[in-house]
Structure 1
């Protein structure tokens, strides 16, 4: 087990934050895996059966910001957060940088043009959750013919586009960060969220989606704030406050 996960679990246990009970029955499949000698945690979700959605604003009007805040709200509805991950870049006030749709309501419009930072490193993309499927869609393709997304978040850059790595990724890059993102299958039935458990390059991170997981489309979420909530692994990262969060909701008593 890598040091990052071990330290996280130790801290959570000390604070009494590890969630138990329903985690063992979760239908989300999360595994710690190695690819090219690098450590990752991958969580596979089936959008045909799992309740996959985005979270931003709490009932109070404030941003959720932490996994525990979402879980506390869900428990009032006899539900639990079975899996979660930060899902896209955000401004200082934690508002989404690009497109954000929640429960069918567009809160922020799509940004189609290039810009500074990783978000503007085109091609970037949109993660779209819709009826019985979820897809990573390149931004200009999305903008040309927007599908009916119940939930959607824009981020960038794309990691894998139609089976190819982003053209700006360099195999010999020395820029390494803990990174997280999502990949989807062609038919939208398979969704895999991945976080690196050590610092990796964009090229290395893109390759786990394409060459290890076999996913033709993948999108980068972040490399400054990369966080994961997986009760079944005894893991719930905490630290800096987050903006958009993606998660799977299950009945509390499953």
Structure 2
């Protein structure tokens, strides 16, 4: 199974992804789901609240808040108990919370952390202090941490023999900044396992961890919509209108 999946990823899955968006992937004997978006074909946006300002909190509320079919969605960066974003958050070109560059507790503060930024014609994952020195014109952005892959290198704190496994999700962008890979583990995995999937299988040089035990995916094409406690920021992918 592994050989077939890897061959598909490296050879023909680009064509499949545009129609299917999400697909199962096995890596190092661990099961993941990889969802792919093309910047020129899809609208990739952060979403937090409905028209009244109340946090959406669920995929059902997300779909109700838009008249476009959601192709897939997943929880975005980390959030506080009131579901306000931790670190930089931009939605619709409007920044509501600021960038955090200091070291701190938990996964978010395990530097280097980073920002997933969607611009008009490209997407990027940028290390936070690099972003602070050279801000991008993001239409949507979410900050989280730690970085999984930085310039083709794994985060220096990741251990190949780690036994700390949790459900995790992340986001990475192709070297050409036009393809975005959203990954969620379908079983508990280590940071090292997820990071090597991005680097060695998907060929991504910069990838960002989004969150852990609260990780959730909405993928109608797979008949999947994970439930659970109310979420904070959400990353939503819809089809871009022609013209």
Relative to the length of structure 1, the TM-score reads 0.86
Aligned to 1:9: none
TM-fit CA distance, 1:27: 4.3
| 1:3-22 pair list within 5 angstroms | none
Q: Is the contact made by 1:180 and 1:193 (CA closer than 8 Å) also made in structure 2? A: yes
User: Which residue of structure 2 aligns with residue 112 of structure 1?
Assistant: 101
Deviation at 1:194, TM superposition (A): 0.3
Choose the corresponding residue for 1:60, options 49, 52, 57.
52
The CA deviation string for residues 65-101 of structure 1, in whole angstroms up to 9 with x for no partner, is 1010010121xx3x11111000100000000010000
Q: Structure 1: 5+ residue runs without aligned partners?
A: 2-24
SS at match of 2:71: strand
Deviation digits for residues 155-205 of structure 1 (CA, Å, limit 9, x no counterpart): 000000000000000111111101000111122111100000000011111
C-alpha distance in 1 between matches for 2:211 and 2:192: 14
- The worse-fitting range, judged by mean Cα deviation, of 93-102 and 53-62 is 53-62
Match of 2:150 in 1: 161
Please say if residues 80 and 251 of structure 1, whose CA atoms lie closer than 8 Å, have aligned partners that are also in contact: no
How big is the shift at 1:250? 3.6
Corresponding position of 1:72: 64
Residue 76 of structure 2: aligned partner: 87
Matches within 5 A, 1:201-212: 201-212=190-201
| Distance apart, 1:28 and its partner CA | 5.7
Unpaired runs of at least 5, structure 2: 2-16
For 1:48 and 1:60, locate their aligned partners in 2 and report how far apart those are by CA, in whole Å. Answer: 30
After TM superposition, which residue ranges in structure 1, 4 or more long, deviate above 4 angstroms? 25-28
1:23-62 matches, within 5 Å, as 27=19, 29-62=21-54
CA RMSD of aligned residues (A): 1.7
Q: Distance in 2 between matches of 1:58 and 1:249?
A: 17
